[in-house]
């Protein structure tokens, strides 16, 4: 009697092969390319500074305008940075040892990104240093102003200040019976009150008219005309100041937007330069033929 072969307790299947690729990124090549990019860009920018300084001729008054110098300097800086990024990307692609074009391009983009970050850190440090220096200058100026104010305060006669305050506070009801200091003090208070409220109340206007008429020795009708003209002039100046502030804010916003757009455009052009430089630095593939089987 034959017995059927027993089934195996477990079955094994051949494992499918898994391709394990080594890391293709070469941080040494990216670092070397970044150093080359920053150095080449800095060298060309320094050369541009030298050329720009040589065009200034204050004796002969043959100096380009500020607009021309700024536009030329901006264009030179952009071209210098693009050339530096392209050179650094080419170096990184060549030193990475890859023959794959995509790998070389990725190394070039790594140089572009690293150079941008390093430049941002350096510029941030320079701006921070400038702000610190400016704060020190402002602090010194404020200290000097405080010293000057203290000196001026010590030179003022306290008794004269007390007498002026007493005359201003002991105000009579009739403007004709008041002293000039009392009238001027009350007019100043009414003007401050009108500025705080935005308009002059009817009773304040009447009181100010009487005070101005008594102080200037003119009829109240003429004093009222002077006050009305002053109020119209104050409103006009306030409107002009508000319009100037709005124009300054619009100009600052537009300048910020234009600067941001230029930064984005320069970054895109830098990425393009990195692609071109990395593509030119990729190693050619070598084909080895074994003649034994030919």
pLDDT at 143: 58
The residue written with tokens 């043959």 in the block is 62
Separation of CA 108 from chain center? 29
pLDDT at 204: 76
pLDDT at 269: 93
Count CB-CB contacts under 10 A for residue 223. Answer: 20
pLDDT at 289: 54
Q: Which residues contact 31 (CB under 8 A, 6 or more apart)?
A: 114
pLDDT at 171: 54
- Per-residue pLDDT tens digits for 241-290: 889 999 999 988 988 898 888 888 988 999 999 999 998 888 876 655 55
Regions of the chain with pLDDT less than 50:
1, 9-12, 15, 18-20, 126-127, 130-131, 137, 148-149, 152-153, 156, 293-294
pLDDT at 35: 94
pLDDT at 293: 47
CB of 37 within 8 A of CB of 88?
yes
CA distance 264 to 199: 49
Q: Which residues contact 104 (CB under 8 A, 6 or more apart)?
A: 93, 96, 98, 278, 279, 281, 282, 283
Distances (CA, A) of 166 to 162, 179, 180, 185: 6, 12, 13, 11
CA distance 91 to 138: 46
Written in H, E and C, the secondary structure of the chain is CCCCCCCCCCCCCCCCCCCCCCCCCCHHHHHHHHHHHHHHHHHHHHHHHHHHHHCCCCCCCCCCCHHHHHHHHHHHHHHHHHHHHHHHHHHHHHHCCCCCHHHHHHHHHHHHHHHHHHHHHHHHHHHHHHHHHHHHHHHHHHHHHHHHHHHHHHHCCHHHHHHHHHHHHCCCCCHHHCCHHHHHHHHHHHHHHHHHHCCCCHHHHHHHHHHHHHHHCCCHHHHHHHHHHHHHHHHHHHHHHHHHHHHHHHHHHHHHHHHHHHHHHHHHHHHHHHHHHHHHHCCCCCCCCCHHHC
- Report the first-to-last Cα separation within the chain, whole angstroms: 63
pLDDT at 192: 73
């Amino acid at each position: 009697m034959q017995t059927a072969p027993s089934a195996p307790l477990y079955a094994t299947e051949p494992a499918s092969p898994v391709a394990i690729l080594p890391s293709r990124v070469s941080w040494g090549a990216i670092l070397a390319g970044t150093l080359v990019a920053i150095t080449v860009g800095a060298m060309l920018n320094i050369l541009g500074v030298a050329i720009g300084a040589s065009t200034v001729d204050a004796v002969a008054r043959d100096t380009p305008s500020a607009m021309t110098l700024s536009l030329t300097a901006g264009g030179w800086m952009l071209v210098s940075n693009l050339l530096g990024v392209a050179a650094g990307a080419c170096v990184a692609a060549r030193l990475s040892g890859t023959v794959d074009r995509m790998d070389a391009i990725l190394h070039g983009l790594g140089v572009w990104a690293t150079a941008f970050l390093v430049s941002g850190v350096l510029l941030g440090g320079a701006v921070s240093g400038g702000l610190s220096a400016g704060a020190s200058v402002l602090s010194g100026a404020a200290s000097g102003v405080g010293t000057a104010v203290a000196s001026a305060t010590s030179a003022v006669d306290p008794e004269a200040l007390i007498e002026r305050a007493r005359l201003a506070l002991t105000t009579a009801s009739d403007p004709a019976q008041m002293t000039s200091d009392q009238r001027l003090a009350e007019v100043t208070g009414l003007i401050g009150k009108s500025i705080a409220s935005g308009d002059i109340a009817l009773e304040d206007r009447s009181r100010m008219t009487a005070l101005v008429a008594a102080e200037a020795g003119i009829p109240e009708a003429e004093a009222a005309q002077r006050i009305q003209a002053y109020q119209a002039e104050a409103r006009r100046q306030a409107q002009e100041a508000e319009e100037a502030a709005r124009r300054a804010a619009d100009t600052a916003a537009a300048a910020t937007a234009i600067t941001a757009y230029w930064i984005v455009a320069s970054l895109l052009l830098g990425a393009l330069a990195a692609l071109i430089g990395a593509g030119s630095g990729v190693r050619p593939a070598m084909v080895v033929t074994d003649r034994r089987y030919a």
